[in-house]
A and B are shown apart, each in its own frame.
Chain A
């Protein structure tokens, strides 16, 4: 594998907040995040609300500065850049937001919205003729008509608005686009259109995506690699199929199990239903952060924070989980048997973890 485009190592971000119940004023939103994103690849970032997904996205956009850790973008640390160098770096990382109704200025027309980044990055398309041509080109790329440039956001449907948001992100020819829940506000039939568009654009432009979503079905469809976050840490990461088919961290297994599945055969499956709720990030549990909801937790989990363990994956890809007692991997089995075995394991653990329904 070639050198990754983006490499994050030990990223930590602490916010200072008003006093919590325990008197703690420090909220560790990111606690030692390490990740890599390959060129032209998609990294899926999953986790529940409050786990730090958005803080990570904001930090990568340089809207927050990390307390510790390094970000390396083709070998340069963007947090060390100033002036023109910083500006040219910012061009290379862009973002698409979740809510297509809130992320577009209602007082501007679509063309102006797409062209607005060039007001800061003046060198890119210096003449108005170039800018107009490029807006038409971008509209075409995202499946809108050139005449749509004169319309205002409220004349578009949700899916079309999200296309405008994507066109705006593409306006600066970025290398990485952070997609923060880009389709979760869209209806299913429109969601499929936007996912197809993102896929085509990636093939065409070779842009990398960091795809943040709570919808595991969508992440499985788009991501090459997945990182699962829980209370500011990445507790499991690996190739998409590997993590989905053989989750090693109990939280990942529970998350997969809790996510409803469209099984047309109508068979009802046993599920791991986690008890309790996400602990407050202000007062995270000692040791392993997941231990308060984990059915495998033992004394050591409360005392020692588990180190990332590199686990063998059948296909040779890197699969890392932070757990003292990772779930069994099912090596070398075919998909069907593996799923059945995983199902049996889930039933057993469900029985242990929760009272029967």
Chain B
């Protein structure tokens, strides 16, 4: 991070910062514009048992002022996807394929050094565990000011002023005195606020929040979610919320991509996907939630457990647990394709149009203009149309 220089992205963000809050900054994305488009993303991990594919042909898009949820259970590849987007994968991981088009630039094609310039001004990330994400030997003021020193070339004194401002923005009381405190002197909720402050310091267009509230109590979780909503509205950021919690998705997200064993198995607007799931896995997850059931009633659980990464079968990734499994599921992996018979999402910016602009595998490369028609609902199942007849 120390050699990154003050380049074009930083200049834009300075302009954005000047008008922060007003929502009228030049170059700021308008609500519902496509900010990020991910296509065919694949990540390999080199293990001692050979190379395994942790993320496979993942595709989705994130829009300004909206929240996209990446939903899945542990090991499904959702955090790996986030790290791939942010360019902070572990050394044993390789970006095997795909495009990550952020505001017209394909991040996947850039060198690591070039990518650094995007970290902060264009893209911010919030991690789950605030205590390990923060450096224990520096004060929070130093850590909050880092973005301003590196990307805007501010000196320590100027950065401190910005850091205090930032702490106010995320609701940390008495920032003038607390700026000299160390991370361990803050509560879990306050640490998470500091982490969020670092991520939004340079008003990025895209904020990735990787399980931001999993370690927090529910009343604090509600506060943090409220803060994220506020910041999203103020900056018209596109937010990617990574979570395993269906209820959080239902309450916070506009659209959802459900991941299983490294693949997106279903995506679409949350209200539609949850009301009428078209992949057996999504359906099974929704039925596993104990809500709306007679107390003590038998829960519909999904039998078995997800496949190991080195043991993902040919054909459908969900075949071993699927109640609808047929021969074709074992022979052929279903592509993520539009679901027939589902309504097309409405869009205040552009009218919805089923099929076009749909980020399924094989779509020709075109840089998004920002006014992409909204993709239809998609599911990767041979029987997504018949799922409710079974």
Interface residues of A (CB under 8 A from B): 48-49, 157-159, 187-193, 195-196, 199, 214, 216-218, 220-224, 240-241, 254-255, 257-266, 268, 271, 273-275, 277-278, 357
**By the criterion CB–CB under 8 Å, are A49 and B217 in contact?**
yes
Interface residues of B in 201-225 (CB under 8 A from A): 217-223
- Taking a contact as CB atoms closer than 8 A, the residue among A190, A241, A255 that contacts B218 in the complex is A255
**By the criterion CB–CB under 8 Å, are B248 and A260 in contact?**
yes
Beyond A195-B290, A261-B247, A261-B251, whether A222 also contacts B222 by CB under 8 A is: no
**By the criterion CB–CB under 8 Å, are B290 and A192 in contact?**
yes
Given A187-B73, A195-B290, A259-B247; 11 other pairs, CB 8 A cutoff: A190-B301, A193-B303, A222-B290, A255-B218, A258-B222, A260-B218, A260-B245, A264-B274, A266-B275, A273-B222, A274-B222
Complex Cα spacing A254 to B187, Å = 20
Chain A to chain B contacts (Cβ below 8 Å), 8 pairs: A159-B305, A188-B288, A192-B290, A221-B291, A222-B290, A222-B296, A264-B271, A278-B217
Complex Cα spacing A72 to B250, Å = 44
**By the criterion CB–CB under 8 Å, are B187 and A277 in contact?**
yes
**By the criterion CB–CB under 8 Å, are A221 and B293 in contact?**
yes
- Taking a contact as CB atoms closer than 8 A, the residue among A189, A223, A274 that contacts B219 in the complex is A274
Complex Cα spacing A240 to B290, Å = 14
Interface residues of B (CB under 8 A from A): 73-74, 187, 189-190, 217-223, 226, 229-230, 244-248, 250-252, 270-271, 274-275, 284-286, 288-291, 293, 295-296, 298-303, 305
Contacts of B298 in A (CB 8 A): 196, 199
Contacts of B252 in A (CB 8 A): 260
Contacts of B275 in A (CB 8 A): 264-266
Beyond A159-B305, A273-B222, A277-B189, whether A260 also contacts B251 by CB under 8 A is: yes
Min CB distance B217 to A, Å, is: 4
**By the criterion CB–CB under 8 Å, are B295 and A187 in contact?**
no
Contacts of A259 in B (CB 8 A): 218, 247
Contacts of B250 in A (CB 8 A): 260-264, 266
Contacts of A357 in B (CB 8 A): 226, 229-230
A-B contact count (CB 8 A): 128
Beyond A260-B247, A260-B248, A273-B226, whether A189 also contacts B217 by CB under 8 A is: no
Min CB distance B320 to A, Å, is: 13
Complex Cα spacing A221 to B302, Å = 18
Complex Cα spacing A278 to B217, Å = 10
| Residue among B220, B244, B301, B302 with max Cβ neighbours from chain A (10 Å) | B301
Min CB distance A220 to B, Å, is: 7
Contacts of B218 in A (CB 8 A): 48, 214, 216, 255, 258-260
Closest Cβ neighbor of B270 among chain A residues: A266
Min CB distance A22 to B, Å, is: 16
Complex Cα spacing A255 to B218, Å = 7
- Taking a contact as CB atoms closer than 8 A, the residue among A49, A189, A223, A278 that contacts B285 in the complex is A189
| Residue among B217, B219, B223, B284 with max Cβ neighbours from chain A (10 Å) | B219
Closest Cβ neighbor of A267 among chain B residues: B271
**By the criterion CB–CB under 8 Å, are B274 and A266 in contact?**
yes
Contacts of A193 in B (CB 8 A): 301, 303
Contacts of B246 in A (CB 8 A): 188, 262
**By the criterion CB–CB under 8 Å, are A189 and B302 in contact?**
yes
**By the criterion CB–CB under 8 Å, are A189 and B284 in contact?**
yes
**By the criterion CB–CB under 8 Å, are A188 and B295 in contact?**
no
**By the criterion CB–CB under 8 Å, are A187 and B244 in contact?**
yes
Min CB distance B188 to A, Å, is: 8
**By the criterion CB–CB under 8 Å, are A188 and B305 in contact?**
no
| Residue among A257, A261, A357 with max Cβ neighbours from chain B (10 Å) | A261
Closest Cβ neighbor of A202 among chain B residues: B296
Contacts of B305 in A (CB 8 A): 157, 159, 189-190
Closest Cβ neighbor of B248 among chain A residues: A260
